[in-house]
Structure 1
Amino acid sequence: MAKITFIGAGSTVFAQNLLGDILSYPELAHSEIWLYDIDAERLSTSEIVARKIAAFLKISPKIIATTDRDRALDGADYAINMIQVGGYKPCTVTDFEIPKKYGLRQTIADTLGIGGIMRALRTIPVQLEMVHDMERLCPDVLHLNYVNPMAMNVWALNRGSSVRTVGLCHSVRGTAAQLAKDIGVPAGDINYVAAGINHIAFYLKFEKDGRDLYPEIRKVLAEGRVPADNRVRYDLLKRFGYFVTESSEHFSEYVPWYIHRERPDLIEEFNIPLDEYIRRCEVHIADWEKTQAEMEDPNTVIEAKRSSEYASEIIHSSETGVSRVVYANVINKGSISNLPADCCVEVPCLVDKNGVQPVQIGEIPIHLAALMQTSINVQRLTVEAALTGKREHVYHAAMLDPHTAAELSVDQIWSLVDDLIEEHGSWLPGALHEPLREAAE
């Protein structure tokens, strides 16, 4: 019987999706489900949801909710991590509002850019504490990370710990379904291969019964049928020849071309939703009390509906030996031969009793690798800053970020970094608050 621990289980809606996925497998129906969070109230709601899902499925798993991390992790076979360090307030608001004073505009700010850099710097130390606990309490655990910025977190955790950490994101599967809808082909009929880095992976193949579907995708562009919320990605298809796996609002802030200080008209032309993550957070917060009340209502039935997340599939395959392919974020080690061996890549992985095994992709098109490298540079420097506490690496990461450089001068970037570090205060490691040394090492 597997022990499955949810870290940050107070993310109730997301936990609900994963619980429904896991418990709907008969082989996992009697697992030990441990729900851990530092917020006792949110944790209580998640426990109620878990028990209602079990009741709907007519099963009796062992469900334990606790605010004691050691108890939750002790002997765990799988740990699913979905925390957010600093929350919407103060940290997410800080990541948007201070850059905005400098004229730096963002959409999601959780993966790359100055927002992604700061999120990594406050998240990686907390996650390192967790995986060091895992080394002590459950050294053979498979740590499934859903926390952004995905690539930076997975890279840092695999460098800083012996625990197996694999990152999971639904963008590859989700975008494939969107593309299938755009071209009028059932999603289940499509076979694809994607590879790259998280949020900047591309479909190298997109086929049905061996027939290339890229001509059908290009017809959407040629015939003016591009969905209004997907203009950036279809424009990138025109320029690069391949379709990227993450949404247009995300991708617009990973490159210097769509949000640019000298071309404010591009925001409307490409329908770029500035401050989108802020809006989503505010809607979620405004709706939470109502959602919580509905979930806790004794008369509310919570059904187990399968989501597009990979966690349950990985756990099921690892436990049963059923082979399947998922997309996961792992350390490269040559999976993509023309990207750095030590960076974090998103590639297809075979999962069975032997665990998560990355597929060898080989070389990807040179221009796609070059585009990814611009983000890998930022990721590497941010990971280095988080692991060493050297403030100079934060400046360098921000300077090399493509979107930040398109909006701000070098002096502005350095000043912005100073302001963000000061405003984040104790959310960041103390070493990052030390003045910059005269001679950077």
Structure 2
Amino acid sequence: MTKICLIGAGSTVFAQAILSDVLSNGVFADCVISLHDIDGERLKTSEIVARRICDGLDLPRVRIEATTERRVALAGANFVILMMQVGGYRPATVVDFDIPKRYGLRQTIADTLGIGGIFRGLRTIPVLQEICRDIEDLCPDALLMNYVNPMAINCWAIGEIAPQLRTVGLCHSVQHTSAHLARCLGEDIADIDYVSAGINHVAFFLKFNKRHRDGSTEDLYPRLKALAVDGQVPPDDRIRFDVLQRLGYFVTESSEHFSEYTAWYIKRGRDDLIERYGIPLDEYITRCEDQIAGWNKLRSELEGGAPVEICRSNEYAAGIIHALVTGQSGLIYGNVRNGGLIDNLPADCVVEVPCHVDRNGVQPIKVGSLPRQLAAVIRLSTNVQELTVHAALERRRETIYQAALLDPHTSAELSPDQIWHLVDDLIAAHGNLLPAYR
């Protein structure tokens, strides 16, 4: 019997999507779903959601387990899905935004790179160490699927902590953005062939072609570039179309994310850039507040006996599980150790590339070399990722300073002394969420 373990299952809305995807497939009509979270109240809500999904799909043989004991949840698991947020919205995410603002450093999402991404990684990696040790002990053959940001930093750390574990990092940016571009062009995504490669959130579409009925193909990049030149772009996507004009390729993650991965768009004293590109400062704070309100509403509805919507998503987890169990092959975009998959990126960094999946597991496909300008932009991120991973694993405070010093957005806004003081303030504010550093 297949056992699927969700770590951080109190992320109820995301858990609902993953469980709807998995349980909608008849192959898993008698699987075990093991839910774990350290927040008992949120866990209880997710358990109700899981049971009502089973009721809605008429799956009486599915066994639902919910526990605040991680080792109990992991014991004998075939698949482990990570979806936790260490430190939660309060205090951790609020701290990631509030303290940098005292220094004049503004952010949009702050979960991938930048000073917010660095500290999210620093507080997540020690927990990943504990989880990996438990997996090695309790379910060493399980496939570990990570959805937790900062994706590349966390997956890089997992590879250092437990290189023998089977693992892949998963995101929805490639499939969401490909569909978005098809809509921008008035095309059906079913007619589009694309290839993307890079690192999570800074990957680029190397090919974006339309298949015509006569068997011919059309490169859609000229039409995308024409949208940018003519100013016919969605108001919330001005940065990505600007990057398309400057680098020649379209980046997979959203404009609000990409705005803080470089030194180009958020600048002190340049509010004209914020207005010109429609950059939503503090966007993640707004999203978190909305999600918390949505969770409270859902909990109230569930306590009143409301049914749960079975909402299918385009997340990769269910497809991967299905492929490994049945042998039916598929293609995903996964985050894995580079090791030569992309020639002009560091061998030990984590890249996001197409991967074949079947009963043999997740098998990355070699891409070769990226266009030089794309590899150069990506290396701005991998420098910070590498230092953050080793700062966390070696517990070195000095390396945290250096990661922040090399971060494109942070270093463009603050002096070295300011960066040192900011790091000190963030470490103090995080308190017990971080280990002691040397």
> Scaled by the length of structure 2, what TM-score is found?
0.97
- CA shift for structure 1 position 286: 2.9
> C-alpha offsets along residues 380-433 of structure 1, whole Å, 9 cap, x if unaligned?
000000110011110110010000111111111111111111111111111x2x
**Contact preservation (8 Å) 1:121, 1:386:** yes
Whole-angstrom CA distance in 2 between matches of 1:99 and 1:130: 30
Matches within 5 A, 1:194-273: 194-209=196-211, 210-273=217-280
For structure 1, which segment, 256-265 or 309-318, has the greater mean C-alpha deviation from structure 2 after superposition?
256-265
2:171 maps to what in 1?
A: 169
Q: Is 1:33 matched up with 2:37?
A: no
Shift of 1:262: 4.4
* Greater mean deviation of Cα atoms: 158-167 or 11-20: 158-167
Which digits, 9 at most, give the CA deviation of each residue in 1:24-48, with x for residues without a partner?
1111222111111111111111111
**Matched residue of 1:345: which SS?**
strand
- The one of 412, 429, 433 equivalent to 1:427 is 433
Q: Distance in 2 between matches of 1:103 and 1:135?
A: 44
Deviations along 1:307-351, one digit per CA (max 9) or x if unpaired, are: 010000100000011111001100011111111111000001000
Give the aligned partner of residue 190 of structure 2: 188
Instruction: State the 1:268 CA deviation.
Output: 0.4
Distance 2:203 2:335 in 1: 11
Measure the CA separation in 2 of the matches of 1:284 and 1:400: 32
The aligned counterpart of 1:411 is 417
Q: What letter is aligned with 1:360?
A: K
Distance 1:386 1:177 in 2: 36
Pair 1:314 & 2:316 matched: no
1:402 aligns with 2:403: no
Q: Secondary structure at the match of 1:140?
A: coil
Answer yes or no: is the 8 Å Cα contact 1:5–1:78 preserved in 2.
Answer: yes
After superposition, give the CA deviation of every residue in 1:121-159 in whole Å (9 maximum; x if it has no partner): 000001110110000000111110000000000000111
In the TM superposition, what is the alpha-carbon distance from 1:297 to its structure 2 partner? 2.8
1:68 counterpart = 2:74: no
Aligned to 1:334: 340
Contact 1:350 1:358 in 2 (8 A): yes
Q: 2:427, 2:195 → 1: CA distance? A: 40
Whole-angstrom distance in 2 between the partners of 1:361 and 1:68: 41
Contact 1:22 1:29 in 2 (8 A): no
Mean CA deviation greater in 352-361 or 27-36? 27-36
Q: Which moved more, 1:302-311 or 1:283-292?
A: 283-292
* Alpha-carbon distance in 2 for matches of 1:55, 1:219: 50
Aligned counterparts of 2:42 and 2:342: Cα–Cα separation in 1? 41
- SS in structure 2 at match of 1:245: coil
Work out the CA distance in 1 between the residues paired with 2:431 and 2:123: 10
1:59, CA displacement in angstroms? 1.3
Tell me the secondary structure at the aligned position of residue 34 of structure 2: strand
- Whether the 8 Å contact between 2:16 and 2:311 is mirrored in structure 1 is no
DSSP 3-state at the match of 2:290: helix
- Mind listing any 5+ residue stretches in structure 1 that lack a counterpart? 435-441
Q: Distance in 1 between matches of 2:50 and 2:126?
A: 29
Q: Is the 8 A contact 2:349 2:386 kept in 1?
A: yes
Q: Match for 1:282: what amino acid?
A: E
Aligned-partner SS, 2:419: helix
Does structure 1 retain, via aligned residues, the 8 Å contact 2:13–2:295?
Answer: no
CA contact (8 A) 2:110 2:284 kept: yes
RMSD: 1.0
Q: Distance in 1 between matches of 2:369 and 2:28?
A: 38
8 Å Cα contact 1:158-1:164 kept in structure 2: no
Amino acid at match of 1:190: I
Partner in structure 1 of residue 214 of structure 2? none
Q: Aligned to 1:377, which of 371, 383, 390?
A: 383
Equivalent AA in structure 2 for residue 58 of structure 1: D
**1:183-207 deviations in Å (ceiling 9; x for gaps):** 0001121111000000000000001
| SS of alignment partner, residue 63 of structure 1 | strand
Higher mean Cα deviation, 342-351 or 65-74? Answer: 65-74
1:257 is aligned with what amino acid?
A: W
Aligned equivalent of 1:359: 365
Amino acid at match of 1:428: L
Q: 1:437 is matched with which residue?
A: none
Aligned 8 A contact 2:12 2:295 in 1: no
Which 4+ stretches in 1 moved above 6 angstroms?
A: none
> Which residue of structure 2 lines up, in the alignment, with residue 288 of structure 1?
295
Match of 2:225, as an amino acid?
R
Q: Shift in Å at residue 305 of structure 1?
A: 2.5
Match of 2:59 in 1: 59
Contact 2:115 2:404 in 1 (8 A): yes
For structure 2, the residue ranges without an aligned partner over 5 or more in a row are 212-216
Distance 1:216 1:123 in 2: 41
Partners of 1:129 and 1:244 in 2: how far apart? 34
What are the equivalent positions in structure 2 for 1:43-122 lying under 5 Å apart? 43-60=43-60, 61-122=62-123
Q: Which moved more, 1:384-393 or 1:59-68?
A: 59-68
Q: Distance in 2 between matches of 1:34 and 1:319?
A: 18
CA distance in 2, matches of 1:370, 1:89: 36
Among the aligned pairs, what percent are the same residue?
60
SS at the partner of 1:307? Answer: coil
CA distance, structure 2, for counterparts of residue 374 and residue 160 of structure 1: 24
Deviations along 1:211-242, one digit per CA (max 9) or x if unpaired, are 21111211211222111100000000000000
Q: Which amino acid aligns with 1:385?
A: A
Structure 2: how far apart are the matches of 1:255 and 1:266? 14
Give a deviation string over 1:84-124, Cα, whole Å, max 9, x none.
Answer: 01111111111001000000000000000000000000000
